[in-house]
Amino acid sequence: MKKAQGKIIVISGPTGSGESTITRRVLEFFSTMERIITATSRSPRPTEKDGVDYYFLSLVEFRDHIAAGDFLEYIEVPSRGVYYGTLKKPIEEKRNAGIHLVGNLGWPGHSSFSRAYPGSVLSIFIKPESLSVIRDRIIKRDPTITSEEVEQRVQHAAREMQDAEHYDYVVVNKEGKMEDAVEEVRGMVESFLEKGQA
């Protein structure tokens, strides 16, 4: 009997929304779920491992993969001269093995996954209570950040929040109520996986 293919969970949100923390917590509940590992052309940091944190590719390798059509989605960050993207092959291998995948992807990534795997993607947008909460979290995370950088990130977050309407669900991560958001997302994921193959 053929094993049911793994499903994909996309959890998105602006910087400071808590989407990364919620994703890590949700992963703890599901033994048949793994984090989507994306590729990047930037150099690994001292604590990062290839194939665990990212697939680290040279700029030439990354561009060769783009030319070959190997990415489900990718972006270039011109200001830093680096690329990030999701390779199709590892995703296909995991799904064919019945492994569910979860990742933090922005709207372009979510859109690409939904087109590639219709009916097999659950998308959840994590929203903070307000932009002032995001501003406070950005400053708390990096007290050395300039006020100009803070405002740039807050404006970027405001633009990202407009994408919420394109997601299956929106979860508000209220200040001091992270556990409530984790439980809400866990329930949505559990329900989606229990439905069987869409």
Q: How far is CA 27 from CA 24, 31, 37, 105, in A?
A: 5, 8, 14, 16
Tokens of 11: 């959890």
Cβ burial, residue 9 (10 Å; 0-12/13-18/19+): buried
Q: Indicate the pTM of the whole model.
A: 0.87
Q: What percent of the chain has pLDDT over 90?
A: 69
Weakest-pLDDT range from 7-11, 139-143, 173-177 = 139-143
Mean pLDDT, range 80-96, rounded to an integer: 94
26 in any annotated domain: yes
Asked if the structure places residue 88 within a domain, the reply is yes
- Domain with 25 in it: 8-194
pLDDT digits (tens, 9 = 90+) for 40-75: 999 998 999 999 999 999 999 999 999 999 999 999
Of 137 and 22, the one with more pLDDT: 22
Does the residue 77 lie in any domain? Answer: yes
Q: How many domains are contained in the chain?
A: 1
